[in-house]
Amino acid sequence: MRPAARGEGLISLMLALSLSLGIVLSALHLTAQAGLLHQRAQQQSLLEDQANQVLELIERLLQQAGYIDVTVPMAALPARPLSGAIDAADNASVASGQIPSVLTKKSVSLASDVLVIRLRGDAQGSVLNCAGFTVAAPSGPTDTAGLSILYVDLDTANEPELHCYFSGASQFSSQAVASGVLSFQVRLGIDTDNDGLPNYFVNGSQLASQVRQQAASEMSLRTRIVAVQIGILMRSTQRLASAVAQQPLRLLSELEPACLSEADPQGEVPPSQLKSYRLHQTFEKIIFLNNSLRPDA
């Protein structure tokens, strides 16, 4: 007589299915996490690439400031501008159709600054503006053909991007040069003892105030700029699949007290101004000029 079946086969099957289901769910979870990490790493890489392109562009422009065509006799060269070749404006932007030297429009993104660089071309076409076009030789110290103005604006989807405002063939034009630039900050390094090194750094408003206090016979402090500190806050251009815990971000690190004319007005960006489903990162660099901006140099 055969013994009665005890049902062990069914129990074993159910246990095996349960274990298999657990393994499958764990694998799906790990796959999803790997996908999130891959997306985040991809966005981080794109963000860093954009930041490096921005800093390289600004460095190229600044190192062309104050350039003089050595192939032309000094007597035949147009006079240098008495106000220098570099300027900045705090919490500002460029209004469409506006005269470039008048920056009255407020910034559209986190009180971003404006950087103004006046380039002087040569016959060889070796000087390029912020849009990559050749700058012609200047006709005089007030020639605006070499103006390159960098500022933050919004695209059609209200995403911030760094724009280049430049002189075209017949009029001034604006062109986006980098996406994801949420904030753009500028400090100018002033050399007061002619050793080629900055004695202190100021923002655009502080420099304008100091220039107003100068005597009419004094050479503008803008001609004593020898370095520029750039700070940019980048934001990834695509929405992440999961939220990111945001921390306060400082746009520009503090310099040594001896290098600051007064307390830095640029504070931290609070998490409330950062999007939870985007990556954010700050980048900064101090760029030294290649050429003097002084008219008598």
Higher pLDDT pick, 91 / 72 = 91
Give residue-wise pLDDT tens across range 225-244.
999 999 999 999 988 888 88
- In tens, the pLDDT along 75-134 reads 777 778 888 899 999 889 887 655 555 566 888 898 899 999 999 888 888 899 999 999
pTM over 0.75: yes
Closest CA to 244 of 276, 269, 281: 276
Residue 255 has pLDDT above 80, yes or no: no
Reported as a single tens digit per residue, the pLDDT across 29-71 is: 666 666 666 678 888 999 999 999 999 999 999 999 999 887 7
Comparing 142 with 231, the larger pLDDT belongs to 231
Q: Is the pLDDT of residue 293 over 90?
A: yes
Inform me whether the pLDDT recorded for 169 exceeds 80: no
pLDDT at 167: 81
pLDDT above 70 covers what percent of the chain? 85
Task: Write down the domain spans for the chain.
Answer: 35-288
pLDDT given for residue 256 in this prediction: 46
Mean pLDDT, residues 241-263: 66
